[in-house]
Each structure stands twice: as C-alpha cells, then as structure tokens.
C-alpha cells in the first residue's frame, strides 16, 4: 500500500506491504539508513525517530501509522556538513564509540530537550534509560546532553537549534 508522510522536512511516498515497520520503510524503502535497528522488540531504542514531536520506536510502529505525519530521523537533525550543538557535544565528550546506538540517543535527547530544555540530570538519565549503549558506559552521554541544554534554552520551544 502507498503511504505519504514528511521525512526530515520533505514529502515522501512509499509503496510497502502493510506489515512493514516504520524503521524498515525508512531504511529500506526510503534509503535513509541512519536509523538503526538493534533489537526489533522495542527495548534498545536504536531505532528511535521523532514522529510529530514525540520520540517513538520505529521498530514498533507500522509504516502505515505514519501516514500524514512529520517524521525526523538523525539525518534531519543537522544541516549540511555542520554538527548541531547536541552532536558537537557528543563528539567533545566522547559520547559514542561504535556509533550504532547513537542515532536513537540523539533523537531521544533532541525530543527531550526540545520539550524540556531545562531537564535536570536526573530527568535526562531517566529518559535516556530507554536507550541501550554497550560501548560508553553512559556517563559521557549524560555529560554531552547536559552541555547541549544551553543550545535549546536559548531558542523558543520546538525550534530546531
């Protein structure tokens, strides 16, 4: 079946079997492979994308459910060659190693800070506890997200830094 939605600000159309997950649709039909699939049962969070402002597991959502929605993936966070303040903070704090879980952590953190730019360390930890990372031990990730908060507070709610 044919579905239409907005992916990273551009209208897209995909002809997919009804059982196709949003993750598979984005990766294998729309060829945006930045979103990763780590467990296919909604636990690891690597596949997290932002659907109408909310961080969701794209492995647990069917592509057809995204009809008409605005979807943002890791590819949609940065413009051109530059890193966003959040991405730059990840690099500075060594908050990634293999980088496989990173797209889901970035989208989760972006959705959080967009809604709650003054989120406390405890709140950040709590929200990111839904994303598994096997390389870093998480401490650098929390440091990076804490540092990136200032970039979100400077802007209006919902505006992309």
Partner 1 sequence: MTDLADVKKAGASIGRPVERIEDLRLLKGQGRFIDDLRRDGMLHAAIVRSAVAHGRIRAIDASAALKRAGVHAVITAREIMSAMNGIVPTIPLRSDAVAGIEPFQQPVIAHAKVRYVGEPMAVVVADNPALAEDAVDAVALDIEPLPVVADWSAAEKNDVRLFEGQPSNCALVVSAIRGDADSAFRDAPYTRRERLSVHRFTAMPMETRGLLGEWDQARKKLTLLGVTKAPFLCRRILAKQMGIAEADIDMVEGDTGGSFGVRGEFYPEDFLIPFAARHVGRPVKWIEDRREHFIATNHSRQADCELELACTRDGTILALRGRVHTDAGAYVRTNGVTPARNIGQVSSGPYRIPHVLMNVSLMLTNKTPVGTYRGPGRFETDFFRERLFDIVAADLGIDRVEFRRRNLVPESDMPYPLATCLGGATECDSGDYRMTLDRCLAEFNWSEKTRLNGKLIDGRYHGVGIGCYIEGGASGPREGARLVLESDGTVSVYTGSSANGQGLETVFTQIAADALGMPMERIRGVFHGSTAHVKEGFGAFSSRSVVMGGSAIVVVAGKLKEAIRGAAATRFGCTPEEIAAIEGERAVASDGRSISWAELAARTPGGLFAEGSFASSKRTYSYGAHAAHIAVDPRTGHIELIDYVAVEDVGRIINPETLHGQALGAIVQGLGGVFLEGLVYDEQGQLMTGSFADYLVPTATDFPNIRVFALEERPSPNNPLGAKGAGEGGIIPVGGVIANAVAAALSSLGVQPRELPLSPPRVWQLIQEARG
Binding site for partner 1 (CB under 8 A): 17, 19, 27, 32-41, 43-44, 46, 73-75, 77-78, 83, 87, 90-92, 94, 96-103, 106, 124-126, 128-142
Q: Measuring CA to CA, how many Å separate 123 from each of 44, 88, 112, 126, 141?
A: 19, 21, 9, 5, 13
Residue closer to partner 1 (CB basis): 9 or 156: 9
Nearer to partner 1, 66 or 133 (CB): 133
Question: How far is 155 from 159, CA to CA, in rounded Å?
Answer: 6
Minimum separation from the CB atom of position 40 to partner 1 (A)? 6
At its nearest, how many Å lie between partner 1 and the CB of residue 109? 11
| Closest separation in Å from C-beta 7 to partner 1 | 12
| 121 φ, ψ (degrees, to nearest 5) | -60, -40
Partners of 48 in beta bridges: 57
Residue 65's contacts (CB-CB under 8 Å, 6 or more residues apart) are: 22
Residue from 142, 144, 148 nearest 160 by CA? 148
Between 139 and 157, CB nearer to partner 1 = 139
CB of 100 to partner 1, least distance (A): 3
């Amino acid at each position: 079946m044919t579905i239409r939605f907005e992916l990273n600000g551009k209208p897209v159309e995909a002809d997919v079997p009804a059982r196709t997950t949003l993750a598979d649709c984005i990766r294998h039909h729309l060829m945006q492979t930045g979103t990763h699939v780590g467990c296919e049962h909604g636990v690891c969070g690597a596949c997290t994308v932002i659907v109408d402002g909310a961080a969701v597991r794209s492995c647990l959502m069917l592509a057809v459910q995204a009809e008409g929605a605005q979807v943002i993936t890791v590819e949609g966070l940065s413009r051109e060659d530059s890193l966003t303040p959040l991405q730059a903070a990840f690099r500075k704090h060594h908050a990634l190693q293999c980088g496989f879980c990173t797209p889901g952590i970035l989208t989760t953190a972006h959705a959080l800070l967009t809604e709650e730019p003054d989120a406390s360390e405890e709140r950040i930890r709590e929200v990111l506890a839904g994303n598994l990372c096997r390389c870093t031990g998480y401490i650098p990730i929390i440091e990076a997200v804490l540092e990136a908060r200032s970039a979100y507070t400077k802007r209006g709610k919902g505006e992309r830094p």
